[in-house]
Amino acid sequence: MSEGYRRVKDIHQEARGRDAESRAAYLREACGDDEALRREVEELLRYEAQADDKGFLEQPAIIARAFPMSRLSAGTKLGSCEVIELLGAGGMDI
């Protein structure tokens, strides 16, 4: 891990748990005159906030297995291809 990446990661980890006012003061202190470093950390914080706002992984992925997609029946067309028959089941979750 490069020193630059480690620094961004460490500052991001420390900043993410702070409120907006405390975060701004911390970033001024931690990044100093390094505007590129500050922009990179702020970008990570923005992406993290966007993911939280959209409910990223709000529902556990395992729930999706409880409602599997229906199988494609014989005769179903997918573009230029056509499903002819089921070849097998099991093994790799087919």
Query: What is the pLDDT, as a whole number, of residue 67?
Result: 55
Q: Is the pLDDT of residue 62 over 80?
A: no
State pLDDT tens for residues 8-57. Answer: 999 999 999 899 899 999 999 999 999 999 999 999 999 888 877 666 66
Is the residue at 74 inside a domain?
no
Cα separation, 69 vs 78, whole angstroms: 16
CA geometry: angle at 46 spanning 33 and 11, to 5°?
A: 45
Does the model's pTM come out above 0.85? no
- State the Cα–Cα distance between residues 27 and 21, nearest whole angstrom: 10
Whether residue 89 lies inside any domain: the answer is no
Q: Does 30 reside within a domain?
A: yes
Total number of domains in the chain? 1
pLDDT at 14: 95
Query: Do 88 and 94 meet the contact criterion of CB atoms below 8 Å apart?
Result: yes
Residue 26 lies in a domain: yes
